[in-house]
Amino acid sequence: MVDALHIGDALLHRTVIDSAPDGILLVNRSGTILGANRAMERLSGHAPDQLIGQSVGIFLPPHLRERHTTLVDTFFVQPSTRPMGMVGQLQLLRRDGGAVPIDIALGHCEADGQPLAAVFIRDMTEVSRLQSQMHYQATHDTLTGLVNRWMFGQHMQQALMQSIRQGRPLGLLLLDLDYFKAINDTHGHAVGDLVLVEVARRLKGTLRAGDLLGRLGGDEFAVLLPELMAPDDAATVADKVLRALALPCSVQGCSVDLGVSIGIACCPRDATDADTLLRYADMAMYTAKDGGRGSYASYAAHMGHRFEESLRLHDRLKLALQHDALALHYQPQVDVATGRVVGLEALLRWFDDELGTVPPDRFIPVAVNTGLILPLGEWVMKTACRQIAQWAADGLRVRVSVNLSAQQFRQRDLAERLQRCMATYGTPPELLELEVTESEAVADPEVAQQVLTWMGSLGVGVALDDFGTGYSSLSYLHQLPVTRLKIDREFIQNITSNADDATLVRAIIVLAHTLGLPVVAEGVETEAQLRFLRQHGCEAYQGWLFARALPADEVRALVWPPADGQPGTLRLA
Ligand code: C2E
Ligand code: CA
Ligand code: CA
């Protein structure tokens, strides 16, 4: 080793090892510690020289020590290296009896002819704190402390299975406050928030311990009743809720009239799957609202007129596909630091002669329910691949992100289809990125792992869309070969006014960076939001602040203005 500092080799090694941020231990075949660096003292509370000669078992709770000895033996039979992040949920027992979450990497070496294990120990306290904070925020509504829509859905799946197994009816109440918008408009959002908290408190007061209350969003709440004797008992609970909310309510000196409309659906009487049950409760709730508010209604088959509407959408959409009446628009993604356009997101647009402009949030769910999403997704893929190739042939190399639906994601031959499509148009794979929602990637980890690995081997990027709306464990994300994270618009919307959202966005950026992933923020509408993102090191953004999704020729003129031909130098807004 070159010794430019004129200090001895041994001293140099010691200095370097002691300055390492991670704890380092040298351990022999019998599990005895032969060396420890200074960071070990910070981690464990033992001074390095006190550790020499001790068994590594002192860092483990007593019940794990025996098993660990076997692991040490196995290691020395076939010494190998192991990077960080391979084993989840490790803890180190401190001298004072406390436990520190850690991650461990292993190396092996030899000294005086004896094989040694080099153990690198990283303090994960901060990362796990952020992770549990993220978990809480991803599963709860921070205003009322109730479980959020996603978590409610998880509980509901389980409760449904149990209900069917035990042959016991399960009730679902969907609650929507009446005139909540008026309360917000008249008294302001601060009072509106307190009203929601008060509603949550009253609802909790009327329910039994086994019932589950969640806030699905805005002024929408839901109650799961897993312990019904008969379906009609759900109506009794609804009645109790109505009476509890009808009592006078005063918040910050303002007297407000509370009222709620409730829709009821029961398993197995009405449906046995969560989506249908929620939809039916929703139809019943709208019926209650139409019937004069402050009341409840139970689902009945005639409420299916909304279903007919979706049939009509389906028919028109099928025609639109056949007659090429759909369009892809492209929304720029901009580098936060330089203001340059670094990519485009392809978004579907549909104008129908009879229905007018139909937003994707309305027709995509219909396409998903009717299976039309597959041909639709195929059309999007082809159109995007052709456009990328056409731009590339004109010398405009820009990455385009395409949204992948859950059904496409589960298609067995997705990789082949994609490869064929890119080959047909001569699309450079590095210019294509697929957006997969976080919840989809987490729903079936094995499929996700496989599909995303294929994408990686094709050279296609993968962004995790709507990040933050579902709960993913960090150790799992670690193993997913994704290339970017996208933070959902829902969180960006309020980063400058809501401290919880600001914290969450900051945590996501930090976590993404610990995984080495760049972040794109969605739905940026104001300079203040952009400033926040810049301050916290977010790499890119998209949103109306820069541009909406535009037709191909318009986006081309915006990103590559003919005047100077410089790609992406134009900065609007
Ligand atoms: P997404 O993937 O989360 O797309 C982002 C949505 O945010 C787009 O809505 C976009 O127009 C909108 N947006 C972007 N910037 C702003 C902003 O600054 N403010 C506001 N208020 N909104 C902004 P869009 O185009 O209506 O699409 C809605 C959803 O429909 C998409 O959400 C995506 O889930 C789905 N979708 C759209 N196109 C496709 C597609 O080709 N395939 C599939 N599977 N889904 C698609
Ligand atoms: Ca998207
Ligand atoms: Ca999104």
pTM of the model: 0.62
- CATH (domain of 379): 3.20.20.450
Q: How confident is the model at residue 2 (pLDDT cuts 50, 70, 90)?
A: very low
For residues 449 and 521, state if they share a domain.
yes
Residues 463 and 505 grouped into a single domain: yes
Task: Report the range out of 194-208, 290-304, 404-418 with the highest average pLDDT.
Answer: 194-208
1 — pLDDT class (breaks 50, 70, 90): very low
Residue 171 CA: distances (Å) to CA of 156, 222, 268, 439: 10, 11, 9, 26
The bound ligand whose nearest atom lies closest to the alpha carbon of 407 is 1
**Ligand 1 atom closest to residue 466's alpha carbon, by position in its atom list:** 3
Per-residue pLDDT tens for 495-547? 999 998 999 999 999 989 988 999 999 999 999 999 999 999 999 999 999 99
Report the interhelical angle of 233-246 vs 189-206 (nearest 10°): 140
Task: Please say if the pLDDT value at position 383 is more than 90.
Answer: yes
State whether 68 and 172 are in the same domain: no
The range of the structural domain enclosing residue 72 comes to: 4-123
The Cα–Cα gap between 135 and 145 comes to 13
Q: Which residues contact 218 (CB under 8 A, 6 or more apart)?
A: 180
- Smallest CA separation from ligand 1 atom 43, residue: 403
Q: How far is the CA of 490 from the centre of ligand 2 (A)?
A: 13
Whether residues 49 and 107 fall in one domain: yes
Is there a single domain that holds both residue 220 and residue 90? no
Output 294 or 304, whichever has higher pLDDT: 294
- Res 365 pLDDT > 70: yes
What is the whole-number distance in angstroms between the Cα of residue 520 and the centre of ligand 2?
A: 11
Asked if residue 424 and residue 514 are part of one domain, the reply reads yes
**Closest residue CA from atom 42 of ligand 1:** 403
- The CA 488 to ligand 3 mean position distance, Å, reads 5
Is the CB of residue 350 less than 8 Å from the CB of residue 325?
yes
Q: Could you tell me if residue 130 is inside a domain?
A: no
99 C-alpha vs ligand 1 centroid, how far in Å?
44
User: 485 CA distance to ligand 3 centroid (A)?
Assistant: 10
What total number of domains does the chain contain?
A: 3
Across all residues in the chain, what is the average pLDDT?
90
Q: Is 22 inside a domain boundary?
A: yes
Residue of the nearest CA to atom 46 in ligand 1?
403
Q: What is the DSSP letter of 32?
A: B
Same domain, 432 and 495: yes
Looking at the domain assignment, is residue 61 inside a domain?
yes
pLDDT-based confidence at 470, cuts 50/70/90? low
Tell me how far the alpha carbon of residue 487 lies from the centroid of ligand 3, in angstroms. 7
Same domain, 483 and 535: yes
- State the closest ligand 1 atom to the C-alpha of 525, by its place in the atom list counted from 1: 18
pLDDT at 303 exceeding the cut of 90: no
Q: Which of 373, 414, 489 to mutate to test the pocket of ligand 1 (most atoms within 8 A of CB)?
A: 489
Residue range 69-93: mean pLDDT, rounded: 89
Alpha-carbon distance of 241 to 234, in angstroms, equals 11
Strands (E), 336-382: 341-352, 356-358
**pLDDT reported for residue 564:** 53
Last residue of some domain: 288, 303, 318? 303
Distance between alpha carbon 40 and the CA centroid of its chain, in Å? 35
Q: Which residue's CA is the nearest one to ligand 1's atom 23? A: 523
Q: Nearest ligand to the C-alpha of residue 409?
A: 1
Arithmetic mean of pLDDT, 248-264: 88
The pLDDT tens digits for 127-141 are 889 988 999 999 999
Is the separation of the CB atoms in 159 and 169 below 8 Å? no
Model confidence pLDDT, tens digit, residues 400-451: 999 998 888 888 889 999 999 999 999 999 999 999 988 777 767 777 888 8
- Domain membership flag for residue 289: yes
Q: Ligand 1 atom 45: the closest Cα is on which residue?
A: 403
Which ligand has the shortest distance to the CA of 332?
A: 1
How many whole angstroms from 464 Cα to the centroid of ligand 3? 9
> Are 398 and 276 members of one domain?
no
Shared domain check, 464 and 412: yes
* Cα 347 to averaged position of ligand 1 atoms, centre (Å): 6
Ligand nearest to the CA of 374: 1
Q: Are residues 447 and 499 in the same domain?
A: yes
Query: CB under 6 Å to ligand 1: residues?
Result: 331, 347-348, 359-361, 364, 377, 380, 403, 405, 465-466, 489, 522-525, 542-544, 549
Q: How far is the CA of 144 from the centre of ligand 1 (A)?
A: 28
* 388 token code pair: 């990328």
Predicted confidence band at 573 (pLDDT cuts at 50, 70, 90)? very low
Whether 407 maps to a domain, the answer reads: yes
408 CA closest ligand 1 atom index: 44
Identify the CA nearest to 568 among candidates 380, 399, 354, 325.
399
- Distant-in-sequence, close-in-space partners of 88: CB < 8 Å, separation ≥ 6: 473, 475
Residue 132 lies in a domain: no
Distance CA 235, CA 571 (A): 58
Domain assignment present for residue 357? The answer is no
Per-residue pLDDT of 95-127, as tens digits, reads 999 999 999 999 999 888 899 999 999 999 998
- SS3 of 514, please? helix
Q: What is the DSSP string of 133-175?
A: HHHHHHHB-TTT--B-HHHHHHHHHHHHHHHHHHT--EEEEEE
Question: In this predicted structure, which of 2-16, 379-393, 444-458 has the lowest mean pLDDT?
Answer: 2-16
pLDDT tens-digit map of 165-180: 999 999 999 999 987 8
Q: What is the pLDDT of residue 126?
A: 92
Q: Ligand 1 atom closest to Cα of 347?
A: 38
What's 185's domain CATH number?
3.30.70.270
Over residues 204-211, the mean pLDDT reads 93
Q: Where are the beta strands (DSSP E) in 386-441?
A: 399-403, 432-437
Has residue 273 got a pLDDT over 90? yes
Phi, psi dihedral angles at 86 (to 5 degrees): -90, -25
Give strand pairing partners of 284: none
What pLDDT does residue 3 have? 39
Q: What value does the CA radius of gyration of the chain take, rounded to a whole number of Å?
A: 29
Whole-number pLDDT of residue 306: 67
Ligand 1: nearest atom to the Cα of 544: 18
Instruction: Please give the pLDDT value at position 182.
Output: 75
Best of 330, 334, 347, 363 for a ligand 1 pocket test (most atoms within 8 Å of beta carbon) = 347
Q: Which helix (H) or strand (E) holds 288?
A: helix 274-290
Percentage of the residues of the chain whose pLDDT score is greater than 90:
68
Q: What is the pLDDT of residue 569?
A: 43
Q: Residue 467: which H helix or E strand, with range?
A: strand 461-467
CA of 75 to the centre of ligand 1 (A): 50
Answer whether residue 324 is part of any domain: no
State the ligand closest to the CA atom of 463: 2
CB 118 within 8 A of CB 108: yes
* Co-location of 295 and 405 in the same domain: no
